[in-house]
Amino acid sequence: MLKQIHIIFYLKLAAVVVFVGRGYQYLFFGAPFRSLLWDESLLQPIVDTFFNSSWNEYATSIKVDKWISFSIMINGIVLFLGALASVFIKESNRKFLKFPILLGGISLGFLAFLTMKENSYQVAQFFELSIQIGVPFLLLYVTRPNMSFQFFMIVLKLLVSLTFIAHGLYAIGYYEIPGHFIDMTINSFGITENRAVLIMKIAGTLDFLVAILIFIPKVSKYALIYAVIWGTLTALARFVAAYNPQFIAASFHQTVYLVCYRLSHGIIPLLILVIQKKQAQKERRNLKLNFL
């Protein structure tokens, strides 16, 4: 079996790119906190009871707006601290470094909920971020004194499967295909909108196949190779689609965080692929020894 230290390396890498990417987003581009904190139907009773003011006063208050912006900034700092803790965490110092990672993971889960809420509670919006949410908690799990390798592998595959299924639901048009999906495909390949939609539907179908085939031993290798390639390319496509040679720095600033946290969608399938390869090699060696 792959040594635990190697498993931790891949999880650290995935956790760092997620935390850094999302932290960069929070600090420079914000987060959808206002979709919750300015939801009149949900919060008006709380505002009336605890703030002793009308909803209009609350919603137009500069002080409240600054407080929301401050909360977003604090969460961004927490995510960067989570990235730093992820680099150095190991079993011996886990007691002290687990808290920034845990808080960062909770923040990522909250972000997934806000993203879902902002998009009319489309459940796929939440589960599309399964890998990003799960990576910090898996890193904490594998740095424990005792861990169940079988449980770890099941969770890894479930995270990949949920992420690809959720992405596929948008790609095939079960939910309305996001405009930036189509624009990114058009800009990346220089094709018409109709062809871009067709490519998205094909990709969505393959997403569903990957989500199933990674659980079938004889073919999981090929599904995981596709997942690694597709997860990495869809991350890098964010930069390619928005690249402007006249404004390189601006293009990088506006897309680097998108690329960064989505790289985890390629890293985690790669980790599963590497583990399965090492397991297969070990089984072949044992079989050879038994035969001799």
Percent of the chain with pLDDT over 90: 70
Percent of the chain with pLDDT over 70: 96
Task: State the pLDDT at residue 1.
Answer: 46
Contact by Cβ (8 Å): 97, 8: no
CB-CB neighbours of 64 under 10 Å: 18
Give the separation between CA 13 and CA 27, rounded to whole angstroms.
Answer: 21
- Work out how many domains the chain is built from and give that number: 1
Distances in whole angstroms, Cα of residue 116 to Cα of each of 32, 40, 89, 105, 127:
10, 17, 31, 17, 9
Average pLDDT over residues 208-225: 96
Give residue 48's domain range: 4-291
Task: State the pLDDT at residue 292.
Answer: 54
Give the separation between CA 113 and CA 115, rounded to whole angstroms.
Answer: 5
115 closest CA partner among 97, 102, 128, 134 = 128
pLDDT: which is higher, 102 or 91: 102
Q: Which residues contact 71 (CB under 8 A, 6 or more apart)?
A: 33
Q: Quote the pTM value.
A: 0.92
